[in-house]
Amino acid sequence: NINPSGGDPPPATLPDESATKPEDWEDEEDGTWEAPTKPNPEYKGEWVAKTIENPAYKGAWVAPDIDNPDFVDDKLLYNYKDSKYVGFELWQ
């Protein structure tokens, strides 16, 4: 589905061109003056691609659990009798 505008969608608001900077506006005190905005009549909401029904859809895919016949649970796998050093990796 192609974006109807062919490029970037129009902005939701536009600067009000009839607005002028107030005479008593001080940039140092009040900051940079920005014109107020008004709604853009060409903006028709955020563009979303069309969706179609898929009759073969069976839901979100879930990876099946497959038993490994060669797996042996070794409770002493990480049991080291002659450990002299311990290392820590710290992240901040």
Per-residue pLDDT of the chain (92 residues; tens, 9 = 90+): 456 656 777 888 998 888 888 889 888 888 998 889 999 988 888 878 788 999 999 999 999 999 999 999 999 888 888 888 889 999 98
Can you give the pLDDT at residue 63? 94
- Cβ distance 9 to 46 under 8 Å? yes
Can you give the pLDDT at residue 2? 54
Q: How far is CA 8 from CA 16, 44, 50, 57, 72, in A?
A: 21, 13, 17, 32, 57
Can you give the pLDDT at residue 43? 84
